């Protein structure tokens, strides 16, 4: 140990005037003085150690040495552009503020991932019962975590798709020869209270659904005629129709067919 007399001053880029001892292995900066001029953060989970944020948007890091002293090597480029990461961003907030931002992000995901503007609107108009967060929490969450990716999905400009090419293959003659005579099973089914005439052929298991506006005889008869016409266009012959009493009145809708209801 010894003593040294320091009589020189220098200008440290990004900090200002400092006392300079050229023969020394390091120059000591006061953390108290640093905090007076710049925002300084420290997080034990970060590799950077202490971060000093300068006015030009860059950050100056002080990493711990093997002996535990924090230092910055001025021989190289002491400044580096600050990259916005979650760990770095959350150091700007208190533990309570960060906890509230996590809650805000979770709630945003639960209600369908609206964008930030809509999320704030829902909160301000009391559209979310017993909402535990504030507008500030929502803005802090976007600052820390960035724009919610889920809120962007499905909202990008749709690219023009390539032209669809449709290939139609002729029905094999073997199918017509073996299953040309068709027997239909028919019934009335409902989807959200809306009636449909449902049919399925017994051999080829082809299914159809015909929307009907009511269950009158003429309406059901027209729906069945449309189904039979589809089969006829493909060279099939509908010979039998099996259904309940709702189809009793249409067993003779085509004189060229032998239709029966069961």
DSSP-derived secondary structure letter, 257: S
At 108-133, the pLDDT tens digits run: 888 888 888 888 888 888 888 888 88
CB 24 within 8 A of CB 4: yes
179 phi and psi, to 5 degrees? -130, 30
Cα–Cα distance between 20 and 34 in angstroms, integer?
17
Burial state string for 125-140 with b = 16 or more CB within 10 A and e = fewer than 16: eeeeeeeebeeebbeb
Identify the three-state secondary structure at position 131.
coil
Q: Which of 259, 210, 260 is nearest to 230 (CA)?
A: 210
On average, the pLDDT of the chain sits at 76
Residue 210 CA to residue 193 CA, distance in Å, equals: 14
Question: Helix, strand or coil for residue 253?
Answer: coil
pLDDT in tens, 202-249: 888 889 988 898 888 888 888 888 999 988 888 888 888 888 877 777
pLDDT at 103 over 50: yes
Residue 201 β-bridge partners:
184
pLDDT band at residue 93 under the 50/70/90 scheme: confident
In the chain the domains, ranked by start, together with CATH numbers, are 8-83 (no CATH), 95-151 (no CATH), 174-250 (3.30.420.10)
Work out the pLDDT band at 199, boundaries 50, 70, 90: very high
Q: Look at the pTM and tell me if it is higher than 0.85.
A: no
Residue 75: the pLDDT is 61
Specify the pLDDT at position 79. 46
Residue 187 β-bridge partners: 198
């Amino acid at each position: 140990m010894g003593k040294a007399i320091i009589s020189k001053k220098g200008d440290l880029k990004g900090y200002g005037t400092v006392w300079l001892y050229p023969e020394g292995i390091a120059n000591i900066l006061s953390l108290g003085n640093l905090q007076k001029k710049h925002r300084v953060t420290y997080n034990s989970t970060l590799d950077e150690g202490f971060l000093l944020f300068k006015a030009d948007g860059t950050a100056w890091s002080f990493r711990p040495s093997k002996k535990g002293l924090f230092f910055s090597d001025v021989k190289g480029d002491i400044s580096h552009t600050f990259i916005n990461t979650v760990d770095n961003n959350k150091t700007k907030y208190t533990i309570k503020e960060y906890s509230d931002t996590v809650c805000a992000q979770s709630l945003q995901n639960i209600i369908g991932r609206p964008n930030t503007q809509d999320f704030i609107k829902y909160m301000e108009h009391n559209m979310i019962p017993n909402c535990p967060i504030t507008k500030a929490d929502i803005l802090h969450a976007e600052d820390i975590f960035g724009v919610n990716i889920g809120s962007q999905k499905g909202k990008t400009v749709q690219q023009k798709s390539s032209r669809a090419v449709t290939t139609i293959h002729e029905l094999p003659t073997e199918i017509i020869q073996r299953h040309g005579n068709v027997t239909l099973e028919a019934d009335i089914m409902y989807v959200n209270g809306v009636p449909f005439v449902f049919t399925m052929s017994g051999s080829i298991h082809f299914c159809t659904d015909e929307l009907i506006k009511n269950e009158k005889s003429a309406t059901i008869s027209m729906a069945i005629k449309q189904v039979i016409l589809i089969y006829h266009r493909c060279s099939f012959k509908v010979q039998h129709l099996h259904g309940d009493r709702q189809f009793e009145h249409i067993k003779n809708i085509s004189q060229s067919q032998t239709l029966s209801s069961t």
